Structure 1
Amino acid sequence: IYKDLNDVNFPIEKTLAGIQAAKDAGIPSIKINVVVKRGVNEKELIKIAEHFKGTGIIVRYIEFMDVGTSNGWRLDDVVPSRQIVEEINRVYPIEPLNPNYTSEVATRWGYKDGSGELGFISSVSEPFCKECSRIRLSVDGKLYKCLFATEGFDIRQMLRGGASDGEIEQAIGRIWTTRDEHYSEIRTEETVKARTGKRIEMSYIGG
C-alpha cells in the first residue's frame, strides 16, 4: 500500500529507518502525516497508531484533499476525521487537547493513558479557512495565499533584485491583507472540476 501511495516504489522500511534516525538525532516534535483515502488505506489507521503509540512521535491523519491536478480526487474518497477519531477511540480511548497556538490546522487528541498524541487535519469536512494564517512560497518564487489557489503572486523579482527585508515584508503584508480565499468552505465535485488544470502542485509549495 505504501509503495502504491508514494508512486515511486519506495519501501516503507527506509522511511521508518529515517524516522528513527530523526528521533535518535534528538529532533523534537516529529510528526508523521497520513493522508487517508477510502478504499486504499483506511483499514491501516489503527495499525499506524499502534506503531507510534508511546514513542513520542505524533501521527496526524489528513483528509484526502484536491491538491494539484494528478491525484484523481473525488469527494467519495474522503474519510472524515470524525470517523477516524471514532474508530481509534473504540480501540484506544482518546480525548481532545487544547491547540498549541491560534490557527493551528490540526486538532489535537491525546491517549487517555498518557501514551501520546494524535492530530487530525479536516479541511474537507471541517474547513478552517477563517482561522488560516499560512502563506506559501513556491519553488519559482510565487506566494500562494491558499493551498488550493489557482495562481500566485510573483515576488522572485524582488528577491533577486536586491529588495530589503522591510520592502519584502511590506509586499507580503499587502498580498496577505487582500486574502479572501475560502475554497474549502465551498468545495464540491463541481468546483473541483472547474479548477482542473489550474491548481498548484504540492511539490511546488511543500505542503
Structure 2
Amino acid sequence: MAHFTVIGLGRFGITASLELIHLGHTVTGIDSSEKLAEHYADELTHTVICDATDERALKELNLTQSDGVLVAIGEDMQASLLTTLHLKNIGVKQLWVKANNKAHHSILAKLGVSRIVHPEEEMGVRVAQALNYPMVNDYISIGHGYYVVEIKLIDDLDNITLRKLLGDKIHAVETLLVKRAHELYSKPHEAFKVRAGDSLLLCGTRAVLKSLAPRLV
C-alpha cells in the first residue's frame, strides 16, 4: 500500500483518487474549494483545503513523504504551473501533472516534469483504437514502437493453432499469455490450440499487430 496526494478534486482528480483508493492505497486530496474538500471527505483518506499556489502552505503538508503527487488542476494553467514549480522547489520527486494543451505541456517539460498526462487526448486515442480495432480489449505502449494488446477471439476462431492464427507473423509477434475462463497459459507453443472466447496477450510492433487485424475479425 502506498500513499498518494492529488491536488485538484475536479472530475479527473477525483476519478484518479477514487481509483487509487479502490486499488488499496491511501490518498490525500487537496483543493482550494472548501465545498469540494468537504464533499469528498468521507471517500478519501484525508482532504485538505489549501491554495496550492502558496508554496509555504504546501511545505506544511510534508508532501515529500507521498509516494507520488498528481497535479490535477483543471483549466487554470497559471495555478497548475505555480503549483508544479512549488512542488519541484520543495523536493517532490514522483510528480505527475495534467496538461491542458501543447503550451502547457511545453512549459511543464521545461520545468523538468517527466510524467505529463493528457487525459482527454489519451482517452480519445483509446476510443479511436477501439473503433478501428474492435477485437482489441486493451493495449499499452511499452516504448520504442512496441505494444502489448489484449485480443478476445471471435467464434470463427475456434480450435486452431497459434501458428494458423498468426500465420507468417508467428515469429514477429510474441504470444505472452492465453486466458481461458479461469485458466492461464503462459508463453504457449505455436502448436497450442486456441478457442473462441480466449483472450490473448500479444506483443509486437504497431505495424505487425495492425497487419494481423483482418485475421481476427
TM-score, normalising length from structure 1? Answer: 0.34
| Greater share of residues in strand | 2
Higher RCO by CA contacts (8 Å cutoff, separation 6 or greater): 1
TM-score, normalising length from structure 2? Answer: 0.33
